[in-house]
Amino acid sequence: MDDFREFRSKRGSRRRRLTPQRSSIQIRWEDLKGRFVRYIGHECGLSENTQSAYCRDIAHFFEWLDDRILTDLTLSDFLGYLDQLRAENHSPATCARHLVSIRAFYRWLQLEGIVKKNLTALLESPKLWQRVPSVLTVKQVSRLLTEPNPEQDRNWIRDRAILEMFYATGCRASEIASLTLGDYRPRERFCRCVGKGDKERMVPLGRGAIGACSAWLTERAAILERTAGPAASKETDPALPLFITRTGRGLRREALWELVKKYARRVGVSEKISPHSLRHSFATHLLSGGADIRMVQELLGHASIQTTQRYTHVDFDRMKSIHERFHPRS
């Protein structure tokens, strides 16, 4: 970058700082993107999906900058950007995410010596309402899991296995999409899941999920034999994807969203049902059955118990029965 000159940092420091030659210079996002992605990926340990979201948010921020100078922005400028996000009809949650992305970006700029002060640390995040997650009943889940059928669906064996795994593990869509043959361990009745920040957790598997996946693995071998030859059907590399398309490629998480919504429409449940609804249902049904909240936290891979606690407010039937049992005027 022409506007910057590199110099050696103090002895013992591994960080190379870039110092501006003058106070007011125009900086392009394209010149910083690669190094910033390495920072949030290697030093902050953020997942690829989170890295992509941060980059989209900061690219939007640079579009707003236009002729403004990155190093000369004031607190009023940042407040103006938040006002612009609201004017674009972004939800409070989206505005909060944009602010988190910009804070991380300016924290990195300060570490690199590009800016002296990180004014974004003075900005407060929008107050967010705690939304009650959408949850299916046990009967609705049973109907959803058995909805894929040979009369209507070409990939019904695979789709049943995917739905069973969603409900059995409480995994996110990205976690199901990244499952490999090595992650699935039917003999031990466990599944290895890699969540946000590459955190690993082991989740038990029930008979329903193991049975559906067993049928799918037979179908999977037939698909590979048809598309890639007999040798491919016997390939057991643990790094290969567990769930594949009819052409033998790994499934995208977007395809998993479409899959869940397709069967949700067929069984007549809310259009808002998504893969995350099965995750919510997994947690809620465990707590309703008497599971310890700490154990549910571990199974979901939540870093904070507060995130798990919201599921204690979802089981309205249980709340009603407790109210009727203990309230003097129920």
C-alpha closest to that of 260 among 167, 151, 175: 167
3-state secondary structure (DSSP) of residue 3: coil
d(CA 262, CA 59): 33
d(CA 258, CA 264): 10
Q: List Cα–Cα distances, 91 to 58, 111, 118, 129, 151, in angstroms.
A: 17, 31, 25, 11, 42
Residue with tokens 């698909």: 223
d(CA 29, CA 47): 21
DSSP assignment of 232-264 equals HHT---TTSBSSB-TTSPBPPHHHHHHHHHHHH
Q: Which residues make Cβ contacts (< 8 Å) with residue 8, sequence separation at least 6?
A: 16
- Asked whether 241 and 180 are in contact (CB, 8 A), the reply is yes
Q: H-helix or E-strand containing 58?
A: helix 48-65
Phi, psi of 241 (to 5 degrees): -65, 145
Phi, psi of 201 (to 5 degrees): -150, 150
d(CA 31, CA 62): 12
Q: Token pair for residue 25?
A: 């210079």
Task: Supply the residues annotated as catalytic.
Answer: 172, 196, 276, 279, 302, 311
